[in-house]
Amino acid sequence: MRREVIGNCELYLGDCFEILPILGSMGAIVTDPPYGINVGKMNLGFSRSSRIEKSDWDKIAPDLSPLVELNLPTIIWGGNYFPLPINKGWLVWDKGGRMKGRSFAECELAWSNLKINAKTFMYNAVNNDCRDKIHHAQKPVMVMKWCLSLLPEECSTICDPFMGSGTTGLACIDKGLRFIGIEINEKYFDIACERIQIATRQGRFDFGGTT
């Protein structure tokens, strides 16, 4: 296990199900785990995204029951791919009009255990940040900031057990929250460390660039 501390962010390289039990208290879980649909082998439409190195990181969907059993406020993107408890607090990222009628998903769904009604966030990333994706499943920072805004106010420490390239951490930096990130893939862990280091120096994330 490798551990990096960058500002208010604590990052771990390893299996989240081995690391989570040794962590201290956390306020909430916000994550985007592998869905088990092999998206790591797909071309995603944009020329930059299509050149991302192909891999099998998304070949198998993990068992997320240990996350649910933590009984923390939790948001899980791709929740429609997992057998999760019934709850009304679904979140919908509407990707905007330019995605309508195309072969790609027009929206993405997140399961939550929050005591809220279903929420929709419209954010069109086609013309800006998603063209510079460095991870196949990378969400825009604005989408993750929206997630954080829905959490109870007392949630000051956010954990992403499937950190990927660190987007949840960037959103936490911008909102002044403590972040704990875990990533099993060393390549993406290093990318996350670099992005979070830059954002920490700036004190926020530059939304004009990559997510």
Buried b / exposed e along 70-94 (16+ C-beta atoms within 10 A): eebbbbbbbbebbebeeeebbbebe
CA atoms within 13 A of residue 162's CA, in its CB half-sphere: 21
Q: What is the pLDDT of residues 40-75, one digit of tens each?
A: 445 555 544 445 565 555 568 899 999 999 999 999
Mean pLDDT of 33-38: 80
* pLDDT over 80 (residue 146): yes
- CA-nearest of 179, 72, 67, 75 to 121 is 75
Out of 102-116, 148-162, 167-181, 186-200, which region has the weakest mean confidence (pLDDT)? Answer: 102-116
Mean pLDDT of 154-170: 96
* pLDDT over 70 (residue 130): no
* pLDDT over 60 (residue 211): no
Question: Are the beta carbons of 135 and 165 closer than 8 angstroms?
Answer: yes
- CA-nearest of 8, 3, 4 to 201 is 8
CA atoms within 13 A of residue 74's CA, in its CB half-sphere: 20
Question: Are the beta carbons of 163 and 192 closer than 8 angstroms?
Answer: yes
- 105 pLDDT band, cuts 50/70/90, is confident
Distance between CA atoms of residues 118 and 101, nearest Å: 23
Identify the pLDDT of residue 209: 39
The full set of domains in the chain, from first to last, is: 2-202 (3.40.50.150)
This prediction's pTM: 0.85
Mean of pLDDT over the chain = 85
Mean pLDDT of 14-30: 95
Helix (H, G, I), strand (E, B) or coil at 48: helix
- 38 pLDDT band, cuts 50/70/90, is low
